Structure 1
Amino acid sequence: MLGVSGGVDSAVSALLLAQDARSGRGPAVEGLFMQNWEDDGSGDCRAEDDRRDAVAVCGRLGIPFHVRNFARQYWDGVFAHFVEEYRVGRTPNPDVLCNREIKFRTFLDEARALGAERIATGHYARVERRGGRWALLRGADADKDQSYFLHQIGQEALAATLFPIGHLPKAQVRALAREAALPVHAKKDSTGICFIGERDFRDFLARYLPAQAGDIRAVDGTRLGEHAGAWYYTLGQREGLALGGIRGRGSAPWYVVGKDVRNNVLYVDQGSDSPYLHSQALEADAAHWTAGSPPARSFACTAKTRYRQPDQDCEVEVGDDGGLAVRFARPQRAVTPGQAVVFYRDDECLGGATILRTDAPAVAAERAA
């Protein structure tokens, strides 16, 4: 059962699987479209357009098509957590939770209920059997690799999953779609968070976390301006601060370097190289390891604290409770609580965890606490 999204990546995955089935190299394939978000009346939800595109692809390839509404499961397992994390001042990554809770749990269960033995998706990643276990590997196209978002997948799901385009570069995926005259061959890739669509992020979030004006302060506590709500901002953010021409402060741009959500205060500093944005160590919650356990209680590897970041050398210590202490070889910029730190060894994704805190210098509110 292939998850068909209406995009070019799942369309080419369907093409390859259908070709294998016809040639006898692979099992029969069917497509399932997941609706994970109900239309909220804004006109920004593209689910119906995507469903039509998915139907057209399956029709073109002659494979059976199914549709299921997982909006309730998505709300309970992903979106409620997303809102709560912003409420307490962290910056969550809903794609990680969506993969764990929906695409590789709810979807897998539904596929099995429909008689499928395995599932497939259009992610740029690979799965390989190594040393008696299943390994999650980076996609061959380094610019499109999505293993960062898949690090919470466990052995059961990996054993049942195919990534048909994980070995291909994106350019070749587009070329295959054109050659096969797939109706989505020229469709733009979706970007950003699926349930927000093209609308302004702050306007969307304000529906669940209403605007609440508060102070913007420099790291020394000086009031510089006003913001619409501390939860709308993330570390390292430059846009939307409306700070400029402040007497005696120079012309360098301002960046968010801290948030006091309880008192609704946003802390900023000038310059992208502000020391308040840099840290060399972080603490994370109990990690998920794709092999089921960490490589060791203490080990060296590389890590990413955001998608598409170049690999960073680090040392990892695993605590008795599974929590992590991570120290990087070089200072890191804007490491953000709520985001994921994901670990790699060569081409294998080892797993990851949610960042809780860093050793970045404390802003005025933290020093006073």
Structure 2
Amino acid sequence: MSAPRTIVGVSGGVDSSVAALLLRDRALAHPDETVAGLFMQNWADDGSGDCRAEDDRKDAVAVCGRLGLPIHFRDFSREYWDGVFSHFLAEYAAGRTPNPDVLCNREIKFKHFLDAARDLGAERIATGHYARVEKRDGRWALLRAVDSGKDQSYFLHQLGQAQLSATEFPLGGMLKRDVRALAAQAALPTAEKKDSTGICFIGERDFREFLSRYLPAREGEIRTPDGRAVGTHAGVFYFTLGQREGLNIGGVRGFEAAPWYVVGKDVANNVLYVDQGIDNAWLQSRNLWSEGAHWIAGHPPAQRFACTAQTRYRQAAEACEVTVRDDGTLQARFARDQRAVTPGQSLVLYEGDACLGGAVIAATDAPLELRLHAHTERNYAA
């Protein structure tokens, strides 16, 4: 049997199933376009009974069987632990909020998976991501998906020319509802399967309970920005900026009966800061500074340029001006205040529908962050 020309990552979900279907149909029309599937195991069973990897594996096998495609298997759980999960824990321990999906794409799906596909003789890989790849002016461009509600270019901004030149996103031009309809029409066993949500290795489990296995709880005070104690918490790293759930703050004398939101974290002193009002001033910032940036084209468009940006997934793109500093880090100044911009998350930059690249957010000029980490902001702003 000859080596497949394209290997599609089949995860056991409906999106990767339809990506495989589309590639199979293309191969039927063009015999030189041979296709195979590959199932990646990225998380080892931790004994909790909550891991869904085996169910997903069975679904991937059933889909490939239905489509008449050969399927391969690779265990990347050690690589995932070293390249993604260890970083995830270190970031939470430092009081930041990481995005493991960005790292998973860079370190696993478009590195180890791509290497495995090439070892099997394939020329390229395909996944069920909602994004598009196109060659523009001699360079590969990562573009937003046609379905703006499902666009995943935010999570793919760490890819470069080498990965994009060897990658297909068959669903990039489709709407999610049409993907579901195709799956049903082809009688794929995943047609009605619920989309996975949240962090992949946590699944449906309680986030705090999961994290406490690796970062033991340490109780501390919950305070308002002016220092008044209003409750206790089990560990500052269990919370993220703008969070409302899980604070368990009851009626507090002298305050309105209104929801509380996390507005700051002092990891060194184990203090969680909160305030009332979803858009309170403590959560607002206009400037941010990043770690070293990655550029999809291999270089920034200019040392200073205007673009749009997202500081979290499912956020409307916001106008900003970006300055590329001498050390490769960025300063981004937004045209208007931004809510709950969170260190550890990703700043992703766009020009129209093209993703330029991005970087991990290191610091902002939110009022409480300036107070708690003034030395850090001074270093970035210098």
- Fold agreement, TM-score > 0.5: yes
Q: Deviations over 1:269-325 (max 9, x none)?
A: 111121000001100111101000000000000000010101100000000011000
Cα distance, 1:244 vs. partner?
2.2
Counterpart residue number, 2:50: 44
Structure 1: tracts of 5 or more residues without a match: none
Instruction: Return the alpha-carbon distance in structure 1 between the equivalents of residues 371 and 323 of structure 2.
Output: 29
1:123 is matched with which residue: 129, 135, 143? Answer: 129
Counterpart residue number, 2:145: 139
Question: Which amino acid is the alignment partner of residue 32 of structure 1?
Answer: L
| Residues 162, 368 of structure 1: alpha-carbon distance in 2 compared, 3 angstrom cutoff | closer
State whether residues 282 and 326 of structure 1, in contact with CA within 8 Å, keep that contact through their aligned partners in structure 2: yes
Question: Which amino acid is the alignment partner of residue 236 of structure 1?
Answer: G
Runs of 4+ with deviation above 3 angstroms: none
Aligned-residue CA RMSD (Å) = 1.2
2:72 is matched with which residue: 52, 59, 66? Answer: 66
Counterpart residue number, 2:191: 185
Instruction: Return the alpha-carbon distance in structure 1 between the equivalents of residues 36 and 207 of structure 2.
Output: 35
Cα distance, 1:362 vs. partner?
2.2
Counterpart residue number, 1:238: 244
Instruction: Return the alpha-carbon distance in structure 1 between the equivalents of residues 308 and 353 of structure 2.
Output: 11
Question: Which amino acid is the alignment partner of residue 209 of structure 1?
Answer: L
State whether residues 18 and 61 of structure 1, in contact with CA within 8 Å, keep that contact through their aligned partners in structure 2: yes
Q: TM-score, normalised by structure 2?
A: 0.95
State whether residues 17 and 26 of structure 1, in contact with CA within 8 Å, keep that contact through their aligned partners in structure 2: no
Do residues 30 (structure 1) and 32 (structure 2) align?
no
Question: Which amino acid is the alignment partner of residue 247 of structure 2?
Answer: L
Question: Which amino acid is the alignment partner of residue 263 of structure 1?
Answer: N
State whether residues 261 and 277 of structure 2, in contact with CA within 8 Å, keep that contact through their aligned partners in structure 1: yes
Cα distance, 1:250 vs. partner?
1.2
Counterpart residue number, 2:367: 361
State whether residues 20 and 26 of structure 1, in contact with CA within 8 Å, keep that contact through their aligned partners in structure 2: no
SS at match of 1:77: helix
Counterpart residue number, 1:227: 233
Instruction: Return the alpha-carbon distance in structure 2 between the equivalents of residues 362 and 7 of structure 1.
Output: 42
1:270 is matched with which residue: 273, 276, 284? Answer: 276
Instruction: Return the alpha-carbon distance in structure 1 between the equivalents of residues 114 and 338 of structure 2.
Output: 37
Instruction: Return the alpha-carbon distance in structure 2 between the equivalents of residues 114 and 186 of structure 1.
Output: 31
Q: Deviations over 1:177-226 (max 9, x none)?
A: 01101111000000001100111000000000001100101101111111
Counterpart residue number, 1:308: 314
Counterpart residue number, 1:203: 209
State whether residues 267 and 363 of structure 1, in contact with CA within 8 Å, keep that contact through their aligned partners in structure 2: no
State whether residues 364 and 370 of structure 2, in contact with CA within 8 Å, keep that contact through their aligned partners in structure 1: no
Cα distance, 1:365 vs. partner?
6.2
Do residues 298 (structure 1) and 304 (structure 2) align?
yes
Counterpart residue number, 2:219: 213
Counterpart residue number, 2:101: 95
Instruction: Return the alpha-carbon distance in structure 2 between the equivalents of residues 311 and 90 of structure 1.
Output: 23
1:14 is matched with which residue: 5, 17, 20? Answer: 20
Instruction: Return the alpha-carbon distance in structure 1 between the equivalents of residues 195 and 150 of structure 2.
Output: 11
State whether residues 13 and 121 of structure 1, in contact with CA within 8 Å, keep that contact through their aligned partners in structure 2: yes
Listed as ranges, the matches of 1:243-258 within 5 Å are: 243-258=249-264
Instruction: Return the alpha-carbon distance in structure 2 between the equivalents of residues 367 and 160 of structure 1.
Output: 42
Q: TM-score, normalised by structure 1?
A: 0.98
- Identical-residue share of aligned pairs (%): 68
State whether residues 276 and 360 of structure 1, in contact with CA within 8 Å, keep that contact through their aligned partners in structure 2: yes
State whether residues 13 and 195 of structure 2, in contact with CA within 8 Å, keep that contact through their aligned partners in structure 1: yes
Question: Which amino acid is the alignment partner of residue 178 of structure 1?
Answer: A
Cα distance, 1:25 vs. partner?
7.3
SS at match of 1:30: strand
Instruction: Return the alpha-carbon distance in structure 2 between the equivalents of residues 181 and 298 of structure 1.
Output: 51
Number of matched pairs:
369
Do residues 56 (structure 1) and 62 (structure 2) align?
yes
State whether residues 255 and 271 of structure 1, in contact with CA within 8 Å, keep that contact through their aligned partners in structure 2: yes
State whether residues 308 and 349 of structure 2, in contact with CA within 8 Å, keep that contact through their aligned partners in structure 1: yes
Cα distance, 1:134 vs. partner?
0.2
| Residues 210, 49 of structure 1: alpha-carbon distance in 2 compared, 3 angstrom cutoff | same
Q: Deviations over 1:209-253 (max 9, x none)?
A: 001100101101111111000000000011111112100111121
SS at match of 1:21: helix
